[in-house]
Amino acid sequence: MVDQSPKINLTLTIPNLLTMVRILLTPLIIIFLIQGTYDRALIIFVLAGITDLVDGLIARTWQLKSPLGAYLDPIADKLLISSSFVTLSIFHKIPPWLAVVVISRDVVILGGVMVLKLFDVQVPIQPSQASKWATTLQVLAVFLVLLQEFWLFPDMVLTACFWLTALLTIASGLHYLSRGLHYLGTTSHIGS
C-alpha cells in the first residue's frame, strides 16, 4: 500500500530557525511576567516580535517560504500571544474577558481545522487580512500593557486598544468560521 499523504519538507531555513527562537522565547517571557520583572518581559517580547518580522521578511525576500514555516509561524504566534494574554489576565493587567475572546477564537479555528481534516478537506494555510490585523492588535495590547509599567499613559488608551482587539479578534474568528463552512459546503456538494 502506497502512502498518499502529503509530505512536509522539514528543511530548516533561517526563517524557520527564527520562528523556533520565538517559540523558545515564549516561556522566558512568561517566567519574567510571573516574577513581575516587566522590563525583562518587555525586552524579550520586543525581541520575539522582531524575530517575527525578520523571519517573514527573509522568507519573502529570498523565497524561503516553506510548508514547515507555514505551520510553525502561526503556532509560534499563537503560543506567544495566548500565553501572554493568560498570564497577564491572571495578574489583572489584561481583562480576563479579553483573554477568553483571544483564546476562544484560536480554539474555534483549531477545532475547525480538525473538522476539515476529518472530512479530508484541503485548506491552504494562509492567514486572512482580518486575522493579521487581529494579531497585530493583540501584540499591541500586550506591548502597551508591558510599556505602561514604565511609562504611564491614560487608561483610555488601553481600554480602546482592548475593545478594538476584541472586535477584530471576533471579526476574524467569524471570518474563519464562514470560510470553514464554505469549504465544508463545497465538499458536501462534490460528494453528492
Q: What is the pLDDT of residues 98-138, one digit of tens each?
A: 999 999 999 998 888 888 888 888 877 678 898 989 999 99
**Superfamily of domain 14-191, CATH level 4:** CDP-alcohol phosphotransferase transmembrane (TM) domain (1.20.120.1760)
Task: Give the pLDDT score at 126.
Answer: 78
Specify burial of residue 73 (Cβ count, 10 A radius: 0-12, 13-18, 19+): buried
Residue 11 has pLDDT above 80, yes or no: no
Domain ranges of the chain: 14-191
Whole-prediction pTM value? 0.86
CB-count exposure of residue 37 (10 Å: 0-12, 13-18, 19+): middle
Output the nine-digit C-alpha cell for 90: 491572571
Q: What is the DSSP letter of 13?
A: -
Cβ pair 47, 26 in contact under 8 A: no
Distance of CA 24 to the CA centre of its chain: 15
Residue that the C-alpha cell 494562509 belongs to: 126
Q: Which residue has the higher pLDDT, 187 or 48?
A: 48
Neighbours of 39 (CB within 10 A): 11
